[in-house]
Amino acid sequence: MMAKPSPIPTGSTMPSVRPARLIAGLAMLASLLAPLPASADAARDMAKAAYDLPFLLDTVAGGPTVDQAGRARTAADFADDLVVVGLVTTHCPSLCVMRALDLAAVAKALPDGVRAHLRLVAISVDPADRPADLAGFADGLHLDAARWTLLATDAGQAARIRDAIGRQVHRAGDDGAEPSTNLFLFDRRGRLMQSFGGRALDRARLARDLVALDAFDAAASSPHP
C-alpha cells in the first residue's frame, strides 16, 4: 500500500535537498522509465521527447500548434519557466480532470517565487479536440488561464506524442480510453528533469521537486564571482 503523502509545503522555507544530485538522479530515472523503442528512429524520437521540450510543442503539420485561445505556441513561449506537461482529452471522464485539479492544487500551495516561474501544459492527444473544446474544458475546471496552456494536436503529432510518452493506458467503459497519466517536469532550459507516473499523483513530492529545481536553476543562472 502506498504511503500517504505528506502535506504540500506552503511556506517559503527551502527543503533540505542537494539539487545537483537530485537533478542528475532524476534525469537518469527519466531515461530508465522510457519505453523500449521499436526502431532506431523511435529511439531517436524518444531521446528528443525525454530531454527536449520543443519535441512536444513545435511539430504540427503546416505550422505551430495552437492553444485554447487559438494562439500559435512554441517552446520559446516557455523560456525560463518550469514546465509540467501532461496529456489530456476533453472527453476524458475522470483521470484528466483529477490530474488537472491535482496540478492546480500544487501550484496554489507553492511559494510565490516558485509559482511565478511555473507553467502547466496539457496536450490533447485527440485530434478532434479544437481550441474551443480545450477552452471549455479549462473553463469548466476553473483553471487559471495565466498559468495553464492547453494545446491542440493534429493526428500525426498526437500519434508521435503517444508513442514517445505513453499510449492510452486506461479504458473507462463507454467513454473510451483515457490518455496516459504520466506527467513530465522540465527545467527552465526545456530539459526533462523528472517524470511522474501512476494514477495517484504524489502532490508533496512534485511540490518539493519544483522548489528544488527552481533553486537549482536560479543558482545555475546566477553570475559566479
Question: Residues marked as binding for Cu cation?
Answer: 92, 96
> Are β-strands 177-178 and 170-171 bridged in parallel, bridged antiparallel, or unpaired?
antiparallel
Burial class (CB within 10 angstroms; exposed 0-12, middle 13-18, buried 19+) of 136:
middle
Binding residues, as ranges, are 92, 96
206: left (phi over 0), alpha (psi -120 to 50) or beta: alpha
Q: Are 156 and 90 in contact (CB under 8 A)?
A: no
Alpha carbons within 13 A on the beta-carbon side of 150: 26
C-alpha to C-alpha distances, 158 to 8, 125, 137, nearest whole angstrom: 33, 5, 18
